[in-house]
């Protein structure tokens, strides 16, 4: 098993990419901290992992709050004794529309959840990981590489994740900590469903798929396998990388 003996935290683990990754990490031998702001979703994932013989513990956390993130890291260390992998995956899409019509509090919320959360997770995790090395994986987005007219705050936050990943990779390299990020394209997750909306779901889904050279949406498990590679020792010489998994959208 590729993560045998490792301990991992996955944020946003109650659904979508986080859920798929938490389960995959457990199947590959990791002990997993399932972190999510929604108690029922996190509990369900822990139960499913446990039923398959995996080891997991739930943490209810708002990743934009310093005390809660510190508590998440402390829970991991107190429960499993160490931390090898931190997957900063939790994120929100934020408001749609022109930037000049948006509210400051909405902008701040997107930046706090998508970008500040990575600062907080790394701030409290890295001192523990310095002892043994490890892997930090951040979820950015293809929209951190290109612009979007519909969600400027989201695009800005994900561009920040990419820049922060590169800087942290350089800071952490002397300690044997690798820092990489994943840029998913349009993937079948609750976030994408909210983005598309219910009223025009079929029409907008077709429009999204038209922009993807491979002709379909991504699946959470496909992103999870990328996270597994970055979490495992197979990527031991990989740091500061931006792994784009978007069906070819940004290659156009």
* Catalytic residue list: 154
3-state secondary structure of 149: coil
Query: How is 50-109 classified by DSSP, letter by letter?
Result: HHTT-EEEEEE--TT-HHHHHHHHHHHHHHHS---EEEE--------S-GGGS-HHHHHH
Which secondary-structure segment (H or E) carries 36?
Answer: strand 31-36
Kind of pairing, strands 177-184 and 242-245?
parallel
Residue 163, C-beta contacts closer than 8 angstroms, at least 6 positions apart: none
How far from 232 is each of 7, 59, 100, CA to CA, in Å?
A: 11, 23, 43
Helix intervals (H) in 81-219? 104-111, 117-129, 152-172, 190-196, 201-210
Percent helix, strand, coil in the chain (nearest 5)?
A: 50, 15, 30
Pull the structure tokens for residue 117: 């959360």
């Amino acid at each position: 098993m590729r993560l045998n003996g490792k301990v991992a935290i996955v944020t946003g683990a109650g659904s979508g990419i986080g859920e798929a990754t938490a389960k995959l990490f457990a199947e590959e031998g990791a002990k997993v901290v399932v972190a999510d702001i929604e108690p029922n979703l996190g509990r369900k994932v822990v139960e499913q992992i446990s039923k398959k013989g995996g080891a997991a513990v739930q943490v209810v956390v708002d990743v934009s709050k310093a005390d809660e993130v510190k508590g998440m890291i402390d829970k991991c260390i107190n429960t499993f004794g160490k931390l090898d992998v931190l997957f900063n995956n939790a994120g929100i899409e934020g408001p749609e529309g022109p930037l000049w019509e948006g509210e400051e509090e909405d902008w701040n919320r997107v930046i706090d959840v998508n970008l500040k959360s990575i600062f907080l997770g790394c701030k409290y995790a890295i001192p523990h990981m310095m002892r043994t090395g490890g892997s930090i994986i951040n979820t950015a987005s293809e929209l951190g590489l290109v612009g979007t007219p519909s969600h400027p705050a989201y695009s800005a936050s994900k561009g920040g994740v990419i820049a922060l990943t590169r800087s942290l990779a350089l800071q952490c390299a002397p300690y044997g900590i690798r820092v990489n990020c994943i840029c998913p394209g349009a993937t079948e997750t609750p976030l994408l469903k909210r983005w598309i909306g219910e009223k025009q779901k079929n029409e907008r889904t077709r429009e999204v798929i038209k922009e993807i050279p491979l002709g379909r949406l991504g699946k959470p498990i496909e992103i999870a396998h990328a996270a597994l590679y970055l979490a495992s020792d197979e990527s031991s010489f990989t740091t500061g990388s931006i792994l784009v998994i978007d069906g070819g959208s940004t290659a156009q």
